[in-house]
Amino acid sequence: MRAEALDITIQSRDGAVWLHLAGPFHAEQAPNIREKILSLMQDGNREIIVDLNDVTHVDTGVPSLFLELLNTMRAKDGELRFIFKNDAVTKAFAPYRNLLDIHPDAEELMSGGLLGALRRRTQVLFRRTGIRLSRPVAIFLLVVLCSLFVSLAFIINLQSRRIAEQSREVEELRQWRQSAVAELDKLTSRLKPMEALGLLPDTSELPRIRRQIQALRQKTAAATPRAPATAPLPDTTKPQAPQQPADADSVAPTPPAGG
């Protein structure tokens, strides 16, 4: 009964198939195990974890069986991983240690940190989408993506600073305009009685002053729409400057320095 000495448990955990073997693993059992794992692959399982921690003895031909299965699995873009830390299995698999993905126990395999979780997630996504990427291509794509993200962030930062400067300038101009309009209104209201009495004989300067006011309004109006969509919204709580009649006769106040 050497051919049936090994106990086999096949179960699903976290999207992978776990194959737990227990008992002595004689060479006579190799065909049986090969057939079972190949059958699992044919059933569409692409991540198989072989737990050998309860294997008490391993014949010499057994590791080569798993190497063969590993090749078959990799050819199908799958993964064959191993769990063991017992002496009997470690000794038998020692020459092939670097070729196999070996973990001491299930906890270590499951808790591979952030990278491990990322890798597992990626594999699940690969399986779902059917997209396969080699490691260099994946790294290159990752670098390109990172560069794009950095450039984009730099441009956005630059733009934000310009927008902030312009917003500040617009705000200053708005404030100056408000004060200028208020001043003009005040002066106009003072001049109106004198004009009505005909005490302003010399009005030759009025057209020039009107032109100056018009220019000032145009400048202010031109500055306001230049504010981008991302600029802060105007404070609606502040009182809006009253609209000046087009033919208002008023004297423009002295603009602020540099205005």
Partner 1 sequence: MKRNAISLLVHPYRNILLPPAELKQAVDSFADSQLKLTTEFPNVRWNLCLPAHLVECMDSILLSKLREVQKRGNLEWLCCGYTEPFLSFSPVWLTQENIRMGVETLTSLTGAKPMGFAPPYSNWEPSHIPTLDAHGLSYAVLSRALFPAASREYLGYWATEHMGTSVLLFPVQMVHAESAPADVSEWLESVFSRGKPCSSGIKTLCIDYLLPLAPKPAVNPFDWLRKAAGAIEQSLLQYQTVRMDEVFTESTPLGLQYVAANLVFNREDAESAPIFQDYLHTFDQVGLMQRRLMEVAENIRDRDSTKQLTQATRQLFLAQDINRYLPARVSGFADGDDRLWTYRRLIEVEEQLHDLDDLKGGQIRIADFMKNGSKSAVMSNRALKVYIDHRSGGHVMELDYRPRRVNICATYASTRFEVPRIVTPGVSRTSFVDHVLAPDARWEDYAAGSVPELGDFVGTPFEYTVKKTSDSVKCVLVRNGSTTVSDKTLPLTMEKVFGLDRDTASLSFIYHLTNPSLIPLTCTLAIEVSLYLPGAEHGEAHIAAGKTTCTDLVNERFAASDLTRWSLVDHRAGMQIILSAQKPVDVWCWPCAGSGAGVYHGTTMMIVSRVELSGGTPWKLMGKLECRKARTKGKVIDAC
Which spans of this chain sit near partner 1 (rule: CB under 8 A)? Answer: 1, 4, 7-13, 15, 17, 22, 35-36, 39-40, 43-45, 54
Q: Which is nearer to partner 1, 13 or 97 (CB)?
A: 13
Residue placing its CB nearer to partner 1 in the complex, 41 or 216 = 41
Least Å from the CB of residue 11 to partner 1: 4
Phi, psi for 244 (deg, rounded to 5): -90, 135
Q: 83: how many CB neighbours lie within 10 A of its CB? A: 22
Query: Shortest distance, CB of residue 122 to partner 1, whole angstroms?
Result: 18
Q: Least separation, in Å, of the C-beta of 40 and partner 1?
A: 6
Per the CB < 8 A criterion, the answer to whether 72 and 40 are in contact is: no
Q: Tokens 């060479």 sit at which residue? A: 27
Q: Which is nearer to partner 1, 1 or 257 (CB)?
A: 1
**Pairwise CA distance, residues 99 & 69, whole Å:** 12
CB of 15 to partner 1, least distance (A): 8
Q: Which distant-in-sequence residues (6+ apart) come within 8 Å of 217 by Cβ?
A: 244
Q: Least distance in Å: CB of 51 to partner 1?
A: 12
Residue 91 to residue 224: CA distance in whole angstroms: 80
**Residue in the structure block whose two tokens are 């395999």:** 109
Q: Is 81 helix (H, G, I), strand (E, B) or coil?
A: strand
Give the residue with the Cβ less far from partner 1, 32 or 151.
Answer: 32
Q: Helix, strand, or coil here: 145?
A: helix
Shorter beta-carbon distance to partner 1: residue 43 or 87: 43
